[in-house]
Structure 1
Amino acid sequence: MRFTKTLAALALATAIIAPAVPAQAGTAGPRWTGAWSAAVQRPSPGGLPGSSNWSQAGFQRQTVRQVVRVTGSGVAVRIKISNLYGTAPLTVSGATVAKAAAGAAVRPTSLRPVTFSLRPHTVVPAGQELVSDPIPLPVKALDRLAVTLYFQGATGPATFHDISSATTYRAPGDHRFDPRGTAFTDTSRSWYFLSGVDVLSPASRGAVVTFGDSVTDGTGSTLDADNRYPDQLAERLVAAGRPLTVLNSGISGNQVLADHPLFGERALGRFQRDVLDKPGVRAVIVMEGINDITYPGPEVTAAQIIAGHRELIRLAHSRGIRIVGGTIMPFKGNPWLYPDGTPEPFAKEQVRDQVNTWIRTSGEYDGVADFERALAAPGDPDRLRPEFNVRDGQQGDGLHPNDAGLNAMAEAIDLNGL
C-alpha cells in the first residue's frame, strides 16, 4: 500500500512536471539538459592490464548502486538506461534515485522510486536506450546521486563503461530502498547500463560535452574524487556562476578512425550518440587522435586524423553546436611507447605535432583548448611536466596527467568560448 501511494504521488508529480517542458530550441522556461553521462561500451574483460569487471557475467537477483555527480541544478531528474550492446531484452525489475551519503549509503529522506511510463519496472529492447519518467528530486550542481537498479532475472552481458574512476556497489537481493551501505559488499570500478542523468532546469543555458579518450575519461585520476578534467571544468563553471552543465563522453583507448573491442566504437561512429543526441548540447570539446597515432598496426597519417576531425566539425556545425579542438597531449617517456633500448618514436611525435599545428592554426575549429602547451615540460614540449606525472610519490606513465594536470587542462579552457 505504501509503495502504491508513492507511485500515485509520483504520477501526479510527473503529470505536473511533464507539461512544463517546452521544446528544446529557442524557448524559455524549464527544459531537460544532460547533467551526467557515460559513453557506453560493449561487454569486455576491460582494457587495463589486470582489470576485471562484471559486464560479461551480468546480473541476476542483484542490486547495483552507482554514485554519480550531476553538473547542473534542477527541479527534477530522469535517468537513461542503455542496452545498446545487449543481445536480448533487458528487464529492470526496479530502480531508485537518492542523494548519496558515504560509500554505498544514501540519505533516507531523499530516496525516490523511479518509474518508466508510470510502472516501477521496464524492459529495454536489445540495441536500444530508454529514459525514465521525471523523478521529483530537486538537485543542485555538483550534488552526488546514487542510482540503484535491481535485476531479478538474468540480464546477460551488460552494456557498460569500463573505466569509471568511481566505485560501483553490488548487493544480493533487492536493496533499492535500503539507505544503508552494509549490504553492498561487492565493488567494481565500472558503470553498468546507466548512461545518463538529466535535470529539468529553468536556468540552464545548455550542456558542454567533453569528447575524447582516456585523458578525458579520467584514467589515472583519484578514485571517487571527481577530479577528471570535465569534473574540474564543471567546478570552474559553477564558481563562475555560469549555468552550463558538463557531460563526459570520453572512452579510454578510443580512436578517431577505428573501432576496438575493448576501447569502444570509433569517434566518427559514436559522435551522434555521445554528443549530438544529448539533451541541451550547445558546445563540444574534442581531444582525440593519440591512440590512432600510437597503436600497433598500419601507420595512420596526420592527414587521415585531420580528415576525421573535419568530419566531427561538420557534424557539430550541422546541428548548430560550437566545437572546440583540444591539442593532443605529450607522451614522451611512456613505457609502452618507449621500451628500454629502442629508439624514440620521432615519426609518431611528428604526426602529433602536425595534427596539433592544424588544430591551432587552421581556424576550422570554433576555438582551441591548448592542452599540450598547458601540460608540456619547459624546454621539452613532447614530455609531460614532471609535477603532472607523479602519483603517490611514484613516477607516472608520461601520458595520463595526475589530478593537478587534469586541473591544468580545465584551466586551459576559455569559458567565454563555450
Structure 2
Amino acid sequence: MRVGAGGSAARVGLSHRYGTGPLDIAAATVARSAGGAAVEEGTVRQLTFDGAESVTIPAGGEVSGDPVRLPVAELESLTVTLYLAEPTGPATYHQTASATSYRAAGDHTADESGGAFTETSVSWYFLAEVRVLCETGCRDDGVVAFGDSITDGLGSTVDAGNRYPDELAERFVREGRPRGVLNHGISGNMITTGTPGTGDSGVNRFAEDVLDEPAVRTVVVLEGINDIGLGGRPGGQIPDVSVEQLIAAHRDVIGQARAARLTVVGATLVPFEGAGYFTERGEAKRDALNEWIRTSGAYDEVVDLDRVLADPADPDRLLPAYDSGDHLHPSDAGYRASRPSTPPCSDR
C-alpha cells in the first residue's frame, strides 16, 4: 500500500466487518516494500495489538495495531504481512485494489525475500488502513477521495499507482506540500443505494469513511453513475433513481461535510456512452446531475471530469486516449488527466 505523506512511524488497521465468526491473526508485520513480495532488508517490524503479537477480531469488528517506529517517505510503499493460522471464514476484503497481494503457506511474516509467496491476488484482505504518523511538523490537511470504481482506479495498470487519488498525491509532492490522500472508492458503489456486493450507500457510509478520518480537511465526491446505470434494469434488484433523488443524496453528503467543517468538492460524472449499462435515458440523467453540480453552488469547488475526459467529437463518450476500453473507466492517461488542475484542498 502506497502512502501519501511521510513520517516516522506507521499504524495498521485491520477489519473483520463482514466476518461470521472470530478472526485469529496469529502474527503480523509491516516493512518497506522492495518490489513484488520482497521487502527491504532490516525494515521488518512486528505488529502488536495492545502489546500482544496476536489478536482475535470479533465478527463485525476492527482493530488498530500499536504504532511501530518505521521511517516512511512520501509516496513510499509499505508491505503488510498477516499470518492466518486457522480458517478465516468469509473474508472482509477490498476487491479492486489495483495492486498485487501475495500468498504463501505457513508463517512468512518475517521473510525479507518474496520467494515463498507463489500465489497472487489483486485484492486486499482484512487490511483496512495504514496510517503514517509524525512527531513534528505534522499536517492536518488530508484529502479523502470518495466515490465508486473510478475513484477506486478500475481500468488503471495494476501496481503502477495510476489511480486519480495517486496522481493527486504525486501532484502535492511535486508542489512541495505532501499530504495524505485517502482513497475511499468502492467499485460498483452508489450514492443512494447499498447492496451486499457494492457496499453501503454513499450517504450511509460517508460518516465512517470521511468524517471519522483524522487530519482531513477536504473531500472530493464522485458518485452517481452506478445509480444511473444499474438502477431500474429489467429483473434487477436496484431501484430506478430520479435526478431529484440523486441531487438529494449529494445534498445530504454535502451537509454532512459542512457540519464537520470540511471543504467539499464535487466532481461531475464522466461520459459513458458505449458502456454496458448506457442508455439514452441514463445519459439525460447524467447531463442533468452534472449541470446541477456545475451551477448550483452547492459544492465549495467543482472538478469537471466530464469536460476534461470527453471526446470533443462526441461529448457523451470518453476521448479514446482516456478510455480503458470499457467506455466507462479511464485509462492511465485518463486518470492522470482527472487529477484536478487546481488542487482541491484548503490551506486554512
If the length of structure 1 is used for normalisation, what is the TM-score? 0.79
Aligned to 2:338: 409
SS in 2 for 1:237: helix
Q: Which residue of 2 aligns with 1:73?
A: 6
Match of 1:318 in 2: 259
> How many angstroms apart in 1 are the aligned matches of 2:304 and 2:107?
48
**1:46-125 → structure 2 map (5 Å cutoff):** 68-125=1-58
Alpha-carbon offset, residue 413 of structure 1: 4.6
> Following superposition of structure 1 onto structure 2, how do residues 170-249 of structure 1 map, counting pairs within 5 Å?
170-201=103-134, 202=136, 203-249=138-184
Q: Distance in 2 between matches of 1:86 and 1:406?
A: 33
Alignment deviations for residues 220-272 of structure 1 (CA, whole Å, 9 cap, x no partner)? 10011010000000000110111321000000110011112211111111111
Structure number, greater radius of gyration: 1
Q: CA RMSD in A?
A: 1.3
SS at match of 1:274: helix
**Equivalence for 1:308:** 249
Q: Is the 8 A contact 1:369 1:414 kept in 2?
A: no
User: For each residue in 1:124-147, what CA deviation from the matched residue of structure 2 results, as whole angstroms up to 9, or x when unmatched?
Assistant: 122121111011001011011100
Trace 1:242-281 onto structure 2 (pairs within 5 A). Answer: 242-281=177-216
| Residues 375-413 of structure 1: per-residue CA shift (max 9 Å, x gap) | 0111422110111125xxxxx111111000000001445
Whether the 8 Å contact between 1:374 and 1:412 is mirrored in structure 2 is no
Give the Cα–Cα distance (whole angstroms) in 1 for the partners of residues 26 and 141 of structure 2. 32
Tell me the equivalent position of 2:236. Answer: none
Task: Identify unmatched segments of 5+ residues in structure 1.
Answer: 1-67, 339-344, 391-395
What amino acid is the match of 2:160? A
Return the offset for 1:102.
Answer: 1.8
Which residue does 2:318 correspond to in 1?
384
Percent of aligned positions that are identical: 50
2:277 paired with 1:352 = no
| Deviation per residue, 1:12-52 (Å, 9 max, x gap) | xxxxxxxxxxxxxxxxxxxxxxxxxxxxxxxxxxxxxxxxx
Equivalent in 321, 325, 337 of residue 277 of structure 2: 337
**Distance in 1 between the 2:55 and 2:32 partners?**
23
Distance in 1 (alpha carbons) for counterparts of 2:116 and 2:13: 25
| Residue 319 of structure 1: how far off its partner (Å) | 1.1
CA contact (8 A) 1:116 1:131 kept: yes
Which one-letter code corresponds to 1:180 in the other structure?
A: S
- Return the alpha-carbon distance in structure 2 between the equivalents of residues 198 and 128 of structure 1: 18
Q: Which residue of 2 aligns with 1:50?
A: none
Residues 174, 86 of structure 1: CA spacing in aligned structure 2 closer, same or farther, 3 A cutoff?
Answer: same
Q: Comparing 272-281 with 364-373, which one deviates more in the overlay?
A: 272-281
Aligned to 1:58: none
Distance 1:188 1:413 in 2: 35
What letter matches 2:219 in structure 1? V
Structure 2: gaps of 5 or more residues:
233-238
Distance in 1 (CA, whole Å) between partners of 2:253 and 2:341 is 22
Give yes or no for contact 1:206–1:243 (8 Å, CA) kept in 2: no
